[in-house]
Structure 1
């Protein structure tokens, strides 16, 4: 019992330390954002007069309403399509398992090793040939393709654990493959699908590289991509830059806090089945 109690407290201490290490950068950003514009704050020193107006100034200077609208349009173009394709492919590879599904799955696994930075140059020329440069499609279409390896692997890992007896019983009752997918497996896959949607939402929102390379107009980029233009304008104004960064991070934090139960539920479901 004593050893068990020690392990329990040791685990809690480690979690607290990790939590502090994770939170510390955000605390530093917040404290720095409250300093007088144009100054160079040192450490975590709380300013004598907090400048809350920095957030308003950063919001107005970066034209945040336009950036929010652009980001949500890109999200609507990426997340639903990517989740739909990944769910269909994951169901086929993980549950139906047609001939050659193993080779296709290996192909998707190889895609997980492909870094965005390694394909940005050929992707630029391809998007240019399609006439999509400086449009939101230049971000939407590549992201759907680049997200597929992870998304399909995620959904396959879920469907491969679904019992075959359930499908066989539905087949006996006369269910078609589409009915089997839509009426039985999709309702049972809501935690996995919602968690994937959350991850893709966060990754799309924070996409920086594709946005600054393929789109010149900051108002057609994602929020994170627009930070590059904001940094170019206020790169020497550290408080305003920190305020802008926090404004960009806030929506992703809100989304995660709202849907954290679904995300944890999917992870727990996968671990229990595994």
Structure 2
């Protein structure tokens, strides 16, 4: 069916409108961050003398060097382990005939409905009983559990569409279950795995609630969690606060821009036809 010129321009107009709505807040943050410290800028007026040093001062004031180390440590503790466990579980639930897989599937679906806010109080007391408060483990271990329902369902949705002919042909050739998983299904699942890793990276980097409740030391939190302490120190200095916010947002934007093709490929990936 041929698309008319009117439909084409309407679609383009909507895309431009949505793009403007998305970009304007970032432009506003950037322009505000360039104003003189201690001022209260209004609108999107470009300052007469841009204060680029606000970004350097915000970086030093928030001690973002330590925050970057802490965030990367938390990312390394969460993302690889979560991707590995969810890929194994998704393969088992989606492609193998494991016992009680329907019951396990229902449990994971129920886990998707569990909000962070609803378990933060019992989680605090549990982490305290383990002696892990004010450590990166207080963020890593809860996130591994909280990410599992979505991550497992994401990978299961991929593996359940893998053709049975591939597995049958591999088993005829003498492949074990592990060889079937590692040599055949994992290479074919890289778009889904990489997009899941991107999502988990972004969610971990932007984790705020667990960081401020379970960790008192801002230098041991995630970048987003440390924003609360930075806001308490510079809450009345709007340009400095905007500069710090942009510095915290920049790594996530760079990661998404770098891997956007893999992410879109996974979202558009349909059933594999053999």
| TM > 0.5 | yes
SS at match of 1:270: coil
Structure 1 residue ranges without an equivalent (≥5): none
CA distance in 2, matches of 1:101, 1:68: 40
CA distance in 2, matches of 1:270, 1:87: 18
Structure 2 residue ranges without an equivalent (≥5): none
Q: Which position in structure 2 is the counterpart of 1:225?
A: 225
Q: Which position in structure 1 is the counterpart of 2:92?
A: 92
SS at match of 1:51: coil
| Change in 2 beyond 3 A, CA 1:45/1:265 | same
Q: Which position in structure 1 is the counterpart of 2:208?
A: 208
Indicate yes or no: 2:235 matched with 1:235.
Answer: yes
Count of residue correspondences: 273
Indicate yes or no: 2:133 matched with 1:133.
Answer: yes
SS at match of 2:270: helix
SS at match of 1:97: coil
| Per-residue CA distance 1:68-98 (angstroms, 9 max, x = gap) | 0000000000000000000000000011132
Q: Which position in structure 2 is the counterpart of 1:55?
A: 55
Stretches (4+) displaced over 4 A? none
CA distance in 1, matches of 2:191, 2:91: 15
CA distance in 2, matches of 1:179, 1:12: 47
Aligned Cα RMSD in Å? 1.3
C-alpha displacement at 1:272, in angstroms?
Answer: 7.9
CA distance in 1, matches of 2:251, 2:142: 23
C-alpha displacement at 1:2, in angstroms?
Answer: 8.7
With structure 2 as the length reference, what TM-score do the two structures score? Answer: 0.97
Kindly indicate whether the alpha-carbon contact (under 8 Å) linking 2:30 and 2:246 is maintained by their aligned counterparts in 1.
yes
With structure 1 as the length reference, what TM-score do the two structures score? Answer: 0.97
